């Protein structure tokens, strides 16, 4: 079993990583400050320019984003589209982080005027029919930080899971945002599974992002048509405890508003072969998420090395 490297302190990191983290902290702190002092329209205009600047400054992330887009869409869309979309990715990430901070600090009336929630009744219906909450599967698309807040502000209690970020200063700022509106945030590998199940049985919704290659229990399923290592523990939990699963996603719209969408409950395959069923069920939820991603390819985190781990033999 592969051991996870302990969360290292700042002085253990290479010099260039410390400087990069310092810059990220300044950027995030600046965005939060701007949220407090600028009208949203002005703040978004500023951070869109900041996102374009980050695209040019962070060469490693820029290269990864371009390579990922080229890998999936290069032959179909062409190099001009790839380069243009890569620039838009960085702009949208900056704007979505700004909006996450802005909306979380906004009144419910202001929040509801910008965020449209579709399908929340499906979540409530599944909870009423089963007597427990749902596992809500999503990914790093659009302004994903607002999804649990959109549910919580409509009377749906939420818990979610994440992992410590690479810098404790950034981790503190992000965790504070995620914990607003009464949401509970657990961390990977901290023995929280029992508490999550307890909350689910009490009618809470459990939101989890499973669109990245991380050091957790995973299976290989198609992601945008290419096999990718995908976290599977939430689906295994749903199969073991007969918990409903829905897929959710959010995306910025051309008018600057956001949509948060919930699917109908996903029908879980149950043939008696638990491992084959697990792979099939993870593939089903990822297929539905990727359908949304393909509508908004410039709003996903392409700098993540989604396909870095390959199936055995490839």
**In the chain, where the domains are located:** 16-299
What tokens does 294 get?
A: 């393909």
What is the C-alpha separation between 180 and 198, in angstroms, rounded? 21
Say if CB 158 and CB 123 are below 8 A apart. no
For residue 240, what pLDDT band results from cuts at 50, 70 and 90? very high
Please report the pLDDT score of residue 165 as a whole number: 60
For residue 7, what pLDDT band results from cuts at 50, 70 and 90? very low
What is the C-alpha separation between 291 and 141, in angstroms, rounded? 12
Please report the pLDDT score of residue 293 as a whole number: 98
Please report the pLDDT score of residue 6 as a whole number: 40
Say if CB 211 and CB 163 are below 8 A apart. no
What is the C-alpha separation between 141 and 261, in angstroms, rounded? 12
Closest CA to 303 of 162, 145, 94, 161: 94
Least confident of 69-73, 113-117, 169-173: 169-173
**Bridge partners, residue 230, by sequence:** 219
What tokens does 18 get?
A: 């410390």
DSSP annotation of 86: H
Please report the pLDDT score of residue 176 as a whole number: 72
Is the pLDDT score of 286 beyond 50? yes
Cβ count within 10 A of residue 73: 16
Cβ count within 10 A of residue 282: 22
Is the pLDDT score of 105 beyond 50? yes
Long-range contact pairs involving 163-172 (C-beta distance under 8 Å, separation at least 24): 163/187, 163/188, 163/189, 163/214, 164/7, 166/17, 166/21, 167/10, 167/21, 167/24, 167/25, 168/7, 168/10, 169/21, 169/25, 170/21, 170/24, 170/25, 170/28
What is the C-alpha separation between 179 and 161, in angstroms, rounded? 11
Is the pLDDT score of 213 beyond 60? yes
Say if CB 200 and CB 156 are below 8 A apart. no
Provide the sign of the torsion angle of the four alpha carbons 25, 26, 32, 33, taken in this order. Answer: positive
* Residue whose token pair is 């919930």: 262
Say if CB 297 and CB 155 are below 8 A apart. no
Please report the pLDDT score of residue 122 as a whole number: 93
* Residue whose token pair is 């929040």: 111
pLDDT in tens, 38-82: 899 999 999 999 899 999 999 999 999 999 999 999 999 999 999
């Amino acid at each position: 079993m592969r051991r996870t490297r302990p969360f290292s302190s700042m002085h253990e990191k290479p010099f260039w990583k410390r400087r990069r983290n310092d810059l990220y902290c300044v950027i995030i702190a600046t965005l939060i400050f701007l949220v407090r002092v600028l009208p949203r329209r002005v703040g978004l205009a500023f951070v869109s320019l900041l996102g374009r600047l980050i695209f040019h400054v962070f060469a490693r992330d820029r290269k990864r984003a371009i390579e990922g887009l080229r890998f999936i869409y290069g032959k179909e869309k062409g190099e001009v589209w790839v380069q243009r979309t890569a620039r838009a990715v960085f702009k949208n990430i900056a704007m979505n982080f700004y909006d996450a901070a802005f909306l979380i600090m906004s009144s419910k009336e202001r929040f509801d005027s910008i965020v449209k929630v579709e399908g929340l009744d499906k979540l409530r219906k599944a909870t009423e029919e089963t007597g427990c909450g749902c596992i809500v599967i999503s990914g790093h698309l659009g302004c994903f930080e607002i999804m649990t807040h959109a549910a919580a502000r409509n009377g749906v209690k939420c818990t979610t899971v994440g992992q410590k970020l690479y810098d404790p200063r950034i981790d503190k700022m992000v965790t504070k945002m995620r914990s607003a509106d009464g949401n509970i945030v657990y961390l990977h590998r901290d023995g929280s599974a029992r508490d999550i199940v307890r909350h689910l049985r009490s009618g809470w919704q459990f939101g989890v992002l499973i669109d990245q290659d991380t050091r957790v229990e995973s299976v290989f399923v198609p992601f945008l048509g290419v096999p990718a290592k995908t976290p599977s523990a939430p689906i295994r939990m749903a199969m073991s405890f007969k918990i409903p699963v829905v897929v959710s996603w959010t995306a910025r719209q051309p008018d600057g508003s956001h949509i948060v969408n919930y699917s109908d409950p996903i029908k879980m395959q149950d043939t008696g072969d638990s491992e084959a069923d697990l792979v099939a069920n993870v593939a089903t939820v990822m297929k539905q998420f990727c359908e949304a991603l393909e509508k908004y390819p410039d709003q996903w985190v392409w700098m993540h090395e989604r396909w870095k781990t390959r199936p055995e033999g490839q």
